[in-house]
Structure 1
Amino acid sequence: MPHRAVTHSRRYRPAANAKRLFRRIALGFALLAAQSLSGATAATSIDTAASHAAVVDLQTGAVLLDKRASEPMPPASMSKIMTAYMIFERLKEGSLNLDDTLPVSEEAWRKGGSKMFVEVDSRVSVRDLLQGIIVQSGNDACIVVAEGLAGSEARFAEQMTARARELGLRDSRFAN
């Protein structure tokens, strides 16, 4: 039996994929919240170990749980999701290509926490950096992207904050 190549008629659209990812994450949280509340006629208290939480009835808009929901908190992996989103936007507009490479500074190489293990003074493709951010939650990959796209972590954080506000995340602030 001869081998046939598989072709895809759908175009790769990174920004659409990022938006779809955001929607799926939000929907997952909403479904999880709805599932935990189903069967309860009038939940008087919802117990959670989370330091911050908010549950809203999407039908009525009623706030079912507000546990320090308006207080600032560290962004955790949200900063990595936003970094990936910024990459996807640049890919969509054409100012960046998956095969483009970005230089690895000593600062990025030395960064602690989770890593994709970039080599100092090397160049890494945007494709590999995206995988390092999304799959390995690589702090080093995020710094390479920040320095490569904005010149510094601080400037990239300002750009992420501005874009988050444009997306309606009024209280989000990214910083190094």
Structure 2
Amino acid sequence: MFDLKLTGIKGLVVLVVLVSVALVGRAHANPRYASIVINADTGAVLHESNADASRYPASLTKMMTLYMLFEAMQQGKMTLDSRMPVSVHAASMPQTNIGLRAGETLSVRDAIPALIVRSANDAAAVVAEALGRTESNFGRLMTEKARQMGMHSTIFRNASGLPDRAQITTARDMVKLSVRLMKDFPQYYPYFSTQSFRYRGITYNSHNRMVRNTHGVDGLKTGFIRASGFNVATSAKRDERRLIAVVMGGKTAASRDQHTVKLLDRSFKKATPAQLVASSNHTSDTTHSRSNSLTDAPIPAAKPIVSLTGEPDPAAILRGEFMPVSDVSENSNLPKSNSWAVQIGSYFEPSRAHAQAQAATRWVAGEVAVVEVEISNRIFYRARVVGLQKNQAFNACQSLSRNGMDCMVVRS
């Protein structure tokens, strides 16, 4: 047992160690957890936790299958009345399914609710073969489409989300897909609020209880396999503001839903309508799964991890949290200079800082720089893209935000 009869500096050190050990234990309590909440209109990240960590998409995969189907319809290759053949492969898909038999056909009109409401694996395979000849080839087409969307961390191998160790994604990529479904196919998005559909005399009810139970929620999709835990991508609109949340790795469907509701409620409250609309004024709440694990414990109020000057909050350093930086307004009180930079984040390792800065150059032009700073007797490394004029820096930061990277404009 620990001897707690300590005072002064020695006692404080022991207390810090005990707290740190407890937090590390909680961080590993649910290694599958990841989450992100964004403003659908601006792309501003309002919350994220493990958003870039590899996860199994499970049936969130079917959102991409639907995207491919909606695109084929928009291009005139399919209509709601088009009928797709059911192969032996499709008919052999395990539950959940709608009992399709080889040699039959399935209409697009029935396939859409089968995928959304029932999350039918047999219907997913039918769509895959209709659009890609084989499901494996369709997986390649899905992956190519994901790359075009900026989903650089996603690989698809099947159309359903059934277990495949090579089929991976991230919470950030899934929120990008959610946005694209809504913006590219607004005429089809209402399908995602469907609560039941009837096929061959059987009524199927939706697994997505958030649509009927949560204020403002009007879509998208749930998913589960044993390796992934309980996933959900959901969209909510309140007072003309729309947020999209992705939560992955829930221990139960109920705890996943409760946690998602808390994230949505907090994200709607944490910013004024003007702040939610202005993409150049957003802040990001990024923490490890330690503080956002899917438990019944209340989610703590959002705390900034860095100040507007890019300095880490010492309390966040103690918690061991990753330190992003948030975009600031062009009307802020930043020093005036002809040399500006976009700061991507502050990191404990110089290699990670360099990698993040290098990744940013996929969307903005500039030179990569890593700046070493000492704060509270600890060395940190700031990732920056430098050599920009003021307007270039603000435009670059907005471009990065649209592509899911947090940033801040600073004088270099």
**Cα distance change on mapping 1:102 and 1:71 into 2, 3 Å:** same
CA distance in 2 between counterparts of 1:82 and 1:90 reads 12
In 2, are the aligned partners of 1:108 and 1:143 still within 8 Å (CA)? yes
What residue number does 1:135 align with?
A: 117
> Are 1:52 and 2:33 an aligned pair?
yes
In 2, are the aligned partners of 1:115 and 1:138 still within 8 Å (CA)? yes
**Cα distance change on mapping 1:97 and 1:171 into 2, 3 Å:** same
Q: Which has the higher contact order (CA 8 A, sep 6+)?
A: 2
CA distance in 2 between counterparts of 1:122 and 1:65 reads 44
What residue number does 2:71 align with?
A: 89
**For 1:132-173, what per-residue CA distance to the aligned partner results, in whole angstroms no more than 9, with x for missing partners?**
111100000000111111110111111111111111111111
Q: Which amino acid aligns with 1:80?
A: K
Q: Secondary structure at the match of 2:91?
A: helix
Q: Unaligned regions of 5+ residues in structure 2, if any?
A: 1-22, 159-412
What residue number does 2:83 align with?
A: 101
Q: TM-score, normalised by structure 1?
A: 0.64
Q: Which amino acid aligns with 2:32?
A: S
CA distance in 1 between counterparts of 2:135 and 2:46 reads 36
CA distance in 2 between counterparts of 1:168 and 1:141 reads 27
Q: TM-score, normalised by structure 2?
A: 0.29
What residue number does 2:99 align with?
A: 117
Shift of 1:88: 0.6
What residue number does 1:66 align with?
A: 49
**Cα distance change on mapping 1:94 and 1:65 into 2, 3 Å:** closer
What residue number does 1:171 align with?
A: 153
CA distance in 2 between counterparts of 1:121 and 1:57 reads 44
Stretches (4+) displaced over 3 A: 44-50, 54-59, 61-67
Higher-helix-fraction structure: 1
What residue number does 2:137 align with?
A: 155
What residue number does 1:145 align with?
A: 127
CA distance in 2 between counterparts of 1:137 and 1:62 reads 28
Of all paired residues, the percent bearing the same amino acid is: 34
Q: Which amino acid aligns with 2:65?
A: T
Further displaced range: 70-79 or 93-102: 70-79
CA distance in 2 between counterparts of 1:50 and 1:141 reads 31
Q: CA RMSD in A?
A: 3.0
Q: Which amino acid aligns with 1:88?
A: F
In 1, are the aligned partners of 2:65 and 2:142 still within 8 Å (CA)? yes
CA distance in 1 between counterparts of 2:48 and 2:131 reads 39
Shift of 1:71: 2.9
CA distance in 2 between counterparts of 1:62 and 1:134 reads 26
**Cα distance change on mapping 1:86 and 1:55 into 2, 3 Å:** closer
CA distance in 2 between counterparts of 1:55 and 1:104 reads 37
Q: Secondary structure at the match of 2:84?
A: strand
**Cα distance change on mapping 1:147 and 1:62 into 2, 3 Å:** closer
**Cα distance change on mapping 1:62 and 1:97 into 2, 3 Å:** closer
**Cα distance change on mapping 1:55 and 1:111 into 2, 3 Å:** closer
Shift of 1:74: 1.1
Shift of 1:52: 2.6
**Cα distance change on mapping 1:87 and 1:65 into 2, 3 Å:** closer
Shift of 1:65: 5.2
What residue number does 2:178 align with?
A: none
**For 1:90-141, what per-residue CA distance to the aligned partner results, in whole angstroms no more than 9, with x for missing partners?**
1111111111111101111111121022122111111111121111000000
In 2, are the aligned partners of 1:108 and 1:140 still within 8 Å (CA)? yes
Higher-strand-fraction structure: 2
The number of residues matched between the two structures is 131
The one of 54, 62, 71 equivalent to 1:80 is 62
CA distance in 2 between counterparts of 1:73 and 1:90 reads 28
**Cα distance change on mapping 1:65 and 1:127 into 2, 3 Å:** closer
